[in-house]
Amino acid sequence: MKQKLFTFLNFTCVLLLLTTACKKSKSGGEVDPPIVNPPDEEIKPQNDPALAATIGFFMNDWQPKTFTPPATTNNVTPPATTNATITVDRSEVISKVPTTLFSNNANTWMTQMVNQPVLMNHLTKNKPGFIRFPGGSISDIFFWNGQPNTPPADAPDKLVKANGAVEDAGYWFGKNTADWTLSVDNYYNMLQQTGNKGLITINYGYARYGKGTNPVAQAAHLAADWVRYDNGRTQYWEIGNENFGAWEAGYRINTADNKDGQPEYLTGALYAQHFKVFADSMRKAATEIGKTIYIGAVILEAEAPTWETNTFKNWNAGVIPGIGNTPDYYVVHSYYTPHNTNSTAAQILATGSANTKHMMQYVKQQLQTYGVTEKPIALDEWNIFAVGSKQMVSHVSGLHAVSVLGELLKQKFGFAARWDLANAWENGDDHGWFSQGDEEGGIPKWTPRPAFYHMYFFQRFLGDKTVSVASSNAELEAYASSYASGQMGVTLLNNGTTAKSVEVVIKNFLKGNRFYWYTLTGGTDNGEFSRKVFVNGNTTTLAAGGPDNYLTLAANAAVTTNGIKVAVPARSAVFIGVDKK
């Protein structure tokens, strides 16, 4: 009896000492209570899976990450009760995180960039990592070493459009230093000054519309010369843009000008044949200068619509078996929502995870069907095609971007680049990450759009390995990651129109004292497509955009004593970082 009483008194003393320590620090101020994890809790270690073939060499730049708590915080009381649960398992690693999934696209009509200090600062602070150039369909009429208005002698003055009309070629030139365009040298200068790297799209169309005796060899030689000039600054290259499309230069040619017997309309099989010539010339050039490059081939990411051309519908069937294992990787594009459709927010948000998953499934199935080896997959253009309600420049577009990024990680894509850094207002049908200064409301040039903020905060609390996560609510998407330094990052996306109170349970993890989070919501302007984003309640005084001080905004913070619980407003994203013990 005395022994039991003695043990009880000692245990009581320990509790009293702990209680006192929780209430006061040595200096008399408030301190966080210690976290007591169950002594018999088994923490399973992480086991990294084999590197996915669909990521491959795009993982070459992977580095372990260290979590840095926000410098300033606002203490917030978490919700007392919750109505949804997110369950994370730190031990179940999906993949290491490629640094190549957060990229963007430059283009040749967005200024010389290096003389735009506001833009350059944003690209330095919110680093995409990789920036593709020269931009979309322009790639197939771009002469990288051409002086303004001086195309090669064998380039025709006019090109044939899909409908048979003949129009001025409208070539673009890499040595054009006018303020309104972007030269090749200033593209390289921009990358160097902002700490980003590049992906270059080669002019394949020239192999089709060139009037020389061997247009394919001539176009391949021009591409190889760019590899030599690049001199190892760029590892990732691709041959052509959306060459399966009737809108692309070279889809239809004037056969009277052609001297090597090419058909009027491009086919996938012909592209495959030409790809091998390009790849051979470019790899030879890289070997000459002692550099390593990777070359991508263009394929379709989903089933072709029934109304599309034969070129489009039969593209993969011609390209994939015809090209064999020649490409280093495959390139796909997706604009997720139906073309030229006034899609609702719910329709847009439903596509982020669903379409990304379908893309990977479809590409894998196509490679298997045509008997070739799985290679890395690059989604180097993505956005939404929704028009009519300023969807592209809205907070909802930012939520969609979060969904796409999270699913790209889950589906193990190797590379992804959003389209694009800057475009044109077109009454809100503008894909640009930044305003060009041409939109309504007097928005200054290079003002970031909502998606810029969503992508920034997604990366801010993204570790170096993605781990498994499950949601108890169908309207809640969740993505989780771990840091080499031990902490955890969790992203919550509420696609629904009602607020949620969410508890995040992290298995096989000893949580520390505190967790931090940023909540991104839209405004009340423009219906469900607000042009503003609020970060922890902070936004801009302008008619569109978000807070200028996004880099230094205080995070919300709370102790983990009663669990990791957060309020997730309707149509919002919450980005969480959790301390380790």
142-184 per-position pLDDT tens digit: 999 999 999 999 999 999 999 999 999 999 999 999 999 999 9
Question: Maximum Cα–Cα distance for the chain, whole Å?
Answer: 109
Q: Bridge-partner residues for 75, per DSSP?
A: 557
Helix/strand/coil percentages in the chain, nearest 5: 30, 25, 50
Torsion of CA 220, 224, 225, 229, to 10 degrees: 150
Q: Write out the two tokens for 78.
A: 């978490």
The 10 Å CB-count burial string (b at 16+, else e) for 324-339 is eebbbbbbbbbbbbee
Give the residue from 295, 284, 117 showing the smallest Cα distance to 193: 117
Q: For position 204, what pLDDT does the model report? A: 98
Distance CA 54, CA 71 (A): 37
Q: Which residues contact 88 (CB under 8 A, 6 or more apart)?
A: 467, 468, 469, 478, 480, 488, 490, 504, 505, 506, 507, 509
C-alpha distance from residue 315 to each of 272, 273, 361, 455 (Å): 10, 13, 18, 33
Q: How many residues does the chain have?
A: 581
User: How much is the average pLDDT of 196-221?
Assistant: 98
Q: What is the mean pLDDT of the chain?
A: 94
- pTM for the model stands at 0.93
Q: Is 83 left (phi over 0), alpha (psi -120 to 50) or beta?
A: alpha
pLDDT at res. 42: 85
Predicted pLDDT at 34: 52
- Say what percent of the chain tops pLDDT 90: 93
**Would you put residue 436 in left (φ > 0), alpha (ψ -120 to 50) or beta?**
alpha
% of the chain beyond a pLDDT of 70: 93
Tell me the per-residue pLDDT of 501-534, one tens digit each, with 9 for 90 and over.
999 999 999 999 999 999 999 999 999 999 999 9
pLDDT score at 328: 98
First vs last Cα of the chain: how many Å apart?
Answer: 37
For 553-576, b where at least 16 C-beta lie within 10 A, e where not — what string?
Answer: bbbbbbbbeebbbbbbbebbbbbb
Query: Does residue 249 have a pLDDT over 70?
Result: yes
Which of 17-26, 124-133, 272-281 is the least confident region? 17-26
pLDDT of residue 25: 35
pLDDT of residue 41: 63
pLDDT score for 295:
99
Q: What is the mean pLDDT of residues 202-217?
A: 98
Please tell me the predicted confidence (pLDDT) of residue 5: 36
Question: Is 228:167 a contact under the CB 8 Å cutoff?
Answer: no
- What token pair was written down for 97? 């995180």
Residue 209 CA from chain centroid, whole number: 33
pLDDT of residue 3: 40
pLDDT band at 32 (very low <50, low <70, confident <90, very high): low
Mean pLDDT score, 188-213: 98
> How many other CB atoms sit within 10 Å of the CB of residue 487?
24
Whether the CB-CB separation of 386 and 348 falls below 8 Å is answered with yes
Q: Is it the case that residue 417 has pLDDT exceeding 60? A: yes
The domain limits of the chain are 104-327
